[in-house]
Amino acid sequence: MITVDSCNYSNSKQCNEIFSIRTKVFVMEQQVSRAEEFDIYEESSLHYLGKINGQGAGTARWRVTKDGIKLERFAVLAEFRKQGIAAAVLKKVLEDVIPLQTKIYLNAQVSAMGFYERYGFKKEGPMFSEANIDHFRMYFERS
């Protein structure tokens, strides 16, 4: 069974689990520097933890920027990929931010663009490098 809960930075138990997943996926697997991964926006973001049968499996967060609502830090542990956790987390995030009636966007790794397109995101602008990984900005197109 997949569950997704949100929390703010003050929920240290849940954030520790979220940060552990992000460390494994981004810092260890993708070689993103710890300083770049864990930034000044942790406290001002709403964080999400997706679990499969009670075990932490995936994460995301969102925050308000000058350009709208930015979805970030989507990560799924390798052993839980292709089991629906990313979709469940994204659906929960969208369920929470769509009612806010502002632009919703993210910076997608090129390898994940097809996933985001299936959920209504469209590519915007040129490719760029973030943390030495190729990305495209994508925005959510409301239907």
Q: What is the 3-state secondary structure (H, E, C) of 46-76?
A: EEEEEEECCEEEEEEEEEEECCEEEEEEEEE
Enclosing domain of residue 28: 2-140
CA–CA distance, 75 with 22 (Å, rounded to integer):
6
Residue-wise pLDDT for 15-27, tens only, equals: 999 999 999 999 9
Amino acid at 90: L
Q: How many helices (H) and strands (E) does the chain have?
A: 4, 7
Residue-wise pLDDT for 50-84, tens only, equals: 999 999 999 999 999 999 999 999 999 999 999 99
- Look up residue 48 and give its two tokens: 């999400």
In the chain, the number of structural domains is 1
CATH number of the domain at 41, please. 3.40.630.30
Residue-wise pLDDT for 113-125, tens only, equals: 999 999 999 999 9
DSSP structural state of residue 134: E
CA–CA distance, 79 with 107 (Å, rounded to integer):
24
Half-sphere exposure of 49 (CA within 13 A, CB side): 20
